Amino acid sequence: MKPYERFYKIEKDFRNPYARDRDRIIHSGSFRKLEYKTQVFLNHEGDFFRTRLTHSIEVSQIARSIASQLELNESLAEAIALAHDLGHTPFGHVGGDTLDECLKADGFSNGFEHNFQSFRVVTKLEKRYKNFDGLNLTFATLEGILKHSYPYKKPFLPEIIDKQFDLNKHPTYEAMVVDRADEIAYMSHDIDDGVNSGLLTFEDLKESELACEILEKVALEGVGEENDEMFRYRFSSHLINHLVYSLLEYSKQKVAHCEETPIGFEKELETKIKKLKKLLFVKMYQHKNIVRKMYAGKQAVKGLYKGLMEEEKMLPQFYYKQLDVRSKHRVIADYIASMSDRYALNFHNEMYGNI
């Protein structure tokens, strides 16, 4: 037998079901598009800044580490983490909020919500099999995608969700881990990107008690000035470690005793986290440079929606064919949500003559 031939003798898939889910997500077209979708900074503003893709990878790494220490299923947590942002529109939350407004203004009360859109991506919009839509993921992964963000009990949306998913129940612990991993990841990397871009300074962060505690730890290492890349890296590293270890200390016994919502932090730390997030919102997310870019994205989404509603023949064939079986509004929303930042801007400019 030749060395490579032994691999073809394996008749059964050697992966566990959640590892198989993870692989199907990674190889999907929607996952690759995350590279060109906004986290905070538009994709073309610099190679260093995080995108939805790098964010999803960071969330996955943190979620795996936490799940491992809590003796949960690492592969399930990883699959949910990698898929949790597949439904995001271009231009971050502003794009999703704008699409939600457009749909509700046209009478669609359910509007647009990125967690439900992620579910649609993996069950409806990805086409990898001849006889059915979607990626054929396990129930636990699908439920985790739907319900990973707090509050975990969601309103029932019959237009989108199959009745087998009871959104009034809590999800698995792995989904809750992803929710917290998401929070840890975006706080740490948004600070890193914010300081690197000049929109935020460590002096600004000293208004936060949690940030001050982390800055003290970094200062003890003597790694250099606050504007150095090493200093930023060490700050992010200490912040992630502090939050992960604090979460494990709080959650381990609660998970062991099967409490309903065991994944979290002590009350005092929860308060400090909320204050840090509020500081980031005021100092960074509402910075005039970010608001300008997001306003441009908002107008692009509005223009795309209006133009496609007036002339649906501009839809690609994949979406155009769905007009026979799905609402025109939902098909157009699916198409806009699938776009990258630069594709949306280019299409908008072409649509309205700015070429």
What is the model's pLDDT at position 92?
A: 87
Which residue shows structure tokens 């930042």? 341
Residues in contact with 138: Cβ distance below 8 Å, sequence separation at least 6, in sequence order: 17, 18, 21
What is the model's pLDDT at position 170?
A: 75
Instruction: Report the candidate in 128, 135, 120 with the shortest Cα–Cα distance to residue 333.
Output: 120
Instruction: Report the candidate in 214, 195, 240 with the shortest Cα–Cα distance to residue 61.
Output: 240
What is the model's pLDDT at position 24?
A: 96
In this prediction, the residues of the chain whose per-residue pLDDT falls under 70 are 1-11, 39-49, 150-168, 354-355
In this prediction the pTM is 0.90
What is the model's pLDDT at position 7?
A: 47
- pLDDT digit string, tens, across residues 193-223: 889 888 899 999 999 999 999 999 999 988 7
**Would you call 277 exposed, middle or buried from its count of C-beta atoms within 10 A (0-12, 13-18, 19+)?**
middle
CATH class of 29-290: mainly alpha
3-class state of residue 51 by DSSP: strand
- pLDDT digit string, tens, across residues 54-82: 999 999 999 999 999 999 999 999 999 99
Distance CA 250, CA 101 (A): 39
